[in-house]
Structure 1
Amino acid sequence: MSESRNDSRAGPGRFALARAFGRAALFSLPGRLLLFIIVYVMLAQMVIFLPLASAFRSSWMVERIQAAHIAALSADVARTGALGEMEVRDLLSGADAVAVARVIDGRNELVLYGGPIAGTLVNVDSSELNWLDDIVQTAATFLAPEGRYLRIVDSPMSRPDVILDVIVPEAPLKRELLNYSAGLFWLSAFIAVVTGALIYVTLFYMFVRPMRRLSAEMARFQRDPENPAKAIRPSGRRDEIGQAEVALSAMQDDIRQAFKQRERLAALGAAIAKINHDLRNVLSSAQLVSDSLASSEDARVRRQGERLVRAIGRGIRLCEETLKFGRSEEAPPVPQAVDIHAAVEEAAADAFLSEGQADWTNALPVGLTVTADPDHVHRIFLNLFRNALQAMGEEGCCLTVSLAEGEAEGGSVTILVADTGAGIPEKVRDKLFQPFSGTSRKDGTGLGLATARELARANGGDLELVSTGLDGTVFGVRLGG
């Protein structure tokens, strides 16, 4: 009893193991590759099966014609004596026929006859048969009912001037054709398995295993990207896989360098934050002194104090902007409908308050709305307006905001911000949107345009330089509708 229970428990366990192995083989890349190869080879064999079966059927009928011809010659030799019923039956049996007739020198004659034929008769005349008819009749042979006969009309190979008309039962042909098909199937299966195995082994060692190595190297690098020991070592192959290994190695080197650069920048940022903190304290103390100098009764001292106040103010703003830029990434935008006309007016008012006044024209349609984060929109235009006012200098002039030609409400809109400054020098244009680089002023940080473009792109838009020259500069801000 205990042994039977153990067997019953081991049975499902073995089946479960077999199922697990089958699933692993089926869903793994090598397993599916092998399966597809076998299936495709079998499909190719199926395509040529009917032509092969048709050739086998034609060969079988040629053999029957040859056997019937020999039986007819034997009958001719025996005509000097009497051919009894037994002799006729033996000759017909040797040819697997029930009747043999021939046409020779224009004369029709019945050579051998075994008695009445009870069954359906199918005519097969080789002179009228094409390859398509041959394939169709071969397919019909597999479905042929019992008791059907074939009437084969053909010439023997040794006597092309003689036409034989032979009637044979179709059952032997069907039986031999089925046996041939079974043998062909197992031969095809063997060829498919052997071919599939050979192709599988070739593809496995040439492609699958290298791809597995690439995947494993990627996963290993992902777990510890900063460790050089985790990097892939290219195998030196010159094909596409070798190129992928080289590209992966280069990418891993770039990522490691980026991590090192990030660490250095983080350390540098922490140091700058400490320096800025101390520097702001120093500048705050100096600002108190400069305020006192600016309120002096001596005009000369007062002018120097005012200049000192402006210089200290620029230093404080530089510290603040540097700290802001060095913080973590901007918060994701919260898109909503923004009245762009009113938003631009508010940003201009803040810019005028900090940088001085200028002639101001807001040519945007009243009520025009865009879908964007309101705080981001305010900061984009505040940075642009402050840059424009600083570029125009203390004498100032005209600052204009308008809608680009062809823009309409309901889609993305491009808003043009134009000033009448001296333009942007050519040497600055290539680095215009790079932090700490895109400025031509000695006291500028280059953070305004970089921040404005980052915010515009975060909202699905962009910021670009439209034109610049001695008559002024135009920026285009594209925002979603």
Structure 2
Amino acid sequence: MEIRVNNQHGAARQAAAIQAIKAVRKAVLSMPGKLLGLSIGFVMLAEILIFFPSAANYRSDWLIERTDDAYLASLAVETADEMGLGDEMIANLLTSADAVIVGRVYDGMNVPLLARPGGIGAAPVREVMLAEENLFERIFNTIGVFLAPEGRYLLIIDEPMAGDVGLVSVVVPEAGLKADLLEYSGRVLWLSIFIAMMTGGLIYLCLMFMFVRPMRKLAQAMTQFQQDPGNPACTVALSRRSDEIGEAESALAAMQDEVRTAFRQRERLAALGGAVARINHDLRNVLTSAQLISDRLATNADDRVAAMGARLVRAVDRGIRLCEDTLQYGRSEERPPELQPVWLRAALDDAAGDAFAATGAADWRNEIDELMQVQADPDHLHRIFLNLFRNALQAMEKSDAPLIQVRARLSREGEHVLVEVCDSGPGVPDRIAETLFEPFGRTGSKGGSGLGLSIVRELARVMGGDVYLKTRSEPGAVFEVRLPAMGG
């Protein structure tokens, strides 16, 4: 029983430790945690960059101080007899200077004046000329102190602070400099950590209140709006800031209002569409009955009645087609395109053949190279040009043009190819061109529903292209179809 209780306590402690680790990891990987870590890291990086010049200056000061002490010791040696200095006093001067050998430089010759008993033996010696070192050499030599082998000595040659007294040479153990530099580095390290924590914390708090919290509110507002876009309570609260965050808040609030307006319009249009579909269904039934009667009138023996019956048949047919187009447009949603390489010339020939078979023959001129390929959906591409060719034929049939001609030509623009469909008809009037690509817009055909070109543009855009009316005046209209080229 006791073993089971201990196991339960151990499992509970392990679960608590795992939860604590997850919480710490979540805090570290969160935006505030990353911000705090980056702030401290950048401050520490700045401290590291400052440390090496500071350590180099500390080394230089340390060596200059030893040079000055050695100069005093050399003066004491030179005036020992006059001042009555004994050997013990001179030894104390050497000890205070941490020197093993002290000398003076005369005419380029280093003349030792004083040395401790035993000297330095066969230990390695590194010569240091402080006056000839630049900043980078001082930094490099400072790093070399930390990596120096045990027992190495430094031969310092420099002019003391006393002025024009010549050069002084002093041999000191490098271990003292290394120990003092390590102690100095430790002080700088703890001071740097303290400064980094304080500075990083202050930067973190400033950025947290100035940027992170407002951005978090924006993110929460966007998430709430995504979950319930119709709820007015999900509108972002404006802070009246004049910076980029204030602009983002204003833009988000404007977008939310536009989306809600679009949703309300969509609901109204959906309700209206349902009503139109019901009316359309009943109207189609009425027109079907009228079509039966008009067919019988068109076959009447009386020529006047037959003529009126024929006109009535055409009118009823247009009404039925309009009802069918409206219902189809309201139900249809174009499938996503399946893009693949398509031979453009062959596709246009195929669409032109279908259009001519259904509407009437024309002088067809395909000026596109046989090797030209585009990235498109074959079915979408066929529907686009079939509609354009049918419109061109219908426009030319009602014109007085002596030649019914449809022509396709090609140009290149960056990663797209531009296919121009030209006809020899009367062109497109300005009043029609304004709403040419809008659903149920004005058309040049009395029986047209105004949906063909809107569907053409929709099909082109889902494939990464577009359709424009390039030229609207006589001797004909020019429609430009933009399509992605292969290998663009």
Q: Same fold (TM over 0.5)?
A: yes
Identity of aligned residues (%): 48
Query: Per-residue deviation at 1:55?
Result: 0.7
Question: Which residue of the other structure, out of 402, 406, 409, is the alignment partner of 1:404?
Answer: 409
Distance in 1 between the 2:477 and 2:111 partners? 112
Deviation at 1:478, TM superposition (A): 5.2
Q: Distance in 1 between matches of 2:140 and 2:192?
A: 22
Which letter does structure 2 place at the counterpart of 1:52? S
Show the counterpart of 2:288. Answer: 284
Structure 2 counterpart of 1:320, one-letter code: E
Contact 1:57 / 1:138 at 8 angstroms: preserved in 2?
yes
Provide Cα deviations, 1:71-92, integer angstroms capped at 9, x if missing partner: 4455566524765543332222
Q: CA deviation at 1:286?
A: 1.8
What residue in structure 2 maps to residue 139 of structure 1? 143
Report if aligned partners of 2:405, 2:424 keep a CA contact under 8 Å in 1: no
Check whether the contact 1:102–1:109 (CA below 8 A) recurs between aligned residues: yes
Q: Which residue of 1 aligns with 2:114?
A: 112
Aligned ranges for residues 125-204 of structure 1 at < 5 Å?
125-204=129-208
Q: What secondary structure, in the 3-state scheme, does the structure 1 residue paired with 2:176 have?
A: helix
Shift of 1:245: 0.5
Of 64, 67, 70, which aligns to 1:68? 70
Q: Does 1:345 align with 2:336?
A: no
Distance in 2 separating the partners of 1:427 and 1:298? 41
Inter-partner Cα distance in structure 1 for 2:308 and 2:351: 38
Shift of 1:132: 3.2
Change (3 A) 1:420 1:168: closer
Residues 1:267 and 2:271 are matched in the alignment: yes
Displacement of 1:466 after TM fit? 3.6
Which residue matches 1:319? 323
Residue 209 (structure 2) aligns with: 205
SS at match of 1:403: strand
2: distance between equivalents of 1:114 and 1:395?
121
1:44 is matched by which residue type in structure 2?
A: A
Which residue does 1:29 correspond to in 2? Answer: 31
Matches within 5 A, 1:451-466: 451-466=455-470
1:283-432 to structure 2, matched below 5 A, reads 283-334=287-338, 339-340=346-347, 341-350=349-358, 352=359, 357=360, 359-364=361-366, 373=377, 375-393=379-397, 398-405=403-410, 416-432=420-436
Could you tell me how far apart the structure 2 residues matched to 1:189 and 1:152 are?
34
TM-score normalised by structure 2 residue count? 0.85
Moved more, 149-158 or 456-465: 456-465
Name the counterpart of 1:20.
Answer: 22
Are residues 1:241 and 2:249 paired? no
Q: Per the alignment, in what secondary structure is the counterpart of residue 60 of structure 1?
A: helix
Distance 1:414 1:105 in 2: 89
What CA RMSD, in Å, does the superposition of the two structures yield over aligned residues?
A: 3.3
Shift of the 222–98 alpha-carbon distance from structure 1 to 2, 3 Å rule, reads same
Q: Secondary structure at the match of 2:478?
A: strand
Going from structure 1 to structure 2, the CA distance change for 1:136 and 1:330 (only over 3 Å counts) comes to: closer
Gaps of 5+ in 1: none
Of 102-111 and 286-295, more deviation after overlay is shown by 102-111
1:54 and 2:51 are equivalent in the alignment: no
Counterpart amino acid of residue 114 in structure 2: L
Residues 345 and 362 of structure 1 are in contact (CA less than 8 Å); yes or no, is this contact kept in structure 2? Answer: no
Q: Secondary structure at the match of 1:259?
A: helix
Change (3 A) 1:298 1:419: farther
Contact 1:434-1:450 at 8 Å conserved across structures: yes
* Shift, 1:381, TM fit: 4.0
Q: Helix, strand or coil: the match of 2:233?
A: helix
**Partner amino acid, structure 2, of 1:346:** D
Q: Secondary structure at the match of 1:363?
A: strand
Provide TM-score, normalisation by structure 1. Answer: 0.86
Change (3 A) 1:366 1:294: farther
- Give the SS at the match of 1:404: strand
Q: Structure 1 residues 6 and 298 mapped into 2: Cα distance closer, same or farther (>3 Å)? A: closer
Secondary structure class of the residue paired with 1:174: helix
**Cα contact 1:431–1:438 (8 A) shared by 2:** yes
Secondary structure of the structure 2 residue equivalent to 1:112: strand
Structure 2 CA distance for partners of 1:426 and 1:144, relative to 1, 3 Å = same
Q: Could you tell me how far apart the structure 2 residues matched to 1:188 and 1:375 are? A: 69
- Aligned length in residues: 472
* Deviations 1:345-375 (CA, angstroms, capped at 9, x unpaired): 123222x2xxxx4x42333489888775555
Q: Alpha-carbon deviations, 1:333-356, whole Å to 9, x = none?
A: 456768522342123222x2xxxx
Distance 1:361 1:442 in 2: 24
Q: Does the CA contact (< 8 Å) of 1:231 and 1:249 recur in 2?
A: yes
Report the CA distance shift for 1:413/1:50 in structure 2 as closer, same or farther (over 3 A).
closer
Q: What are the equivalent positions in structure 2 for 1:468-479 lying under 5 Å apart?
A: 468-477=472-481
Shift of 1:290: 2.0
Aligned partners of 1:88 and 1:114 also within 8 Å? no
More moved, 210-219 vs 183-192: 183-192
Q: C-alpha displacement at 1:23, in angstroms?
A: 1.7
- Counterparts of 1:423 and 1:106, CA distance in 2: 103
Tell me the SS of whatever aligns to 1:472: coil
Letter in 2 for 1:450: S
1:400 partner amino acid: Q
Distance 1:105 1:311, change over 3 A: closer
**What corresponds to 1:446 in structure 2?**
450
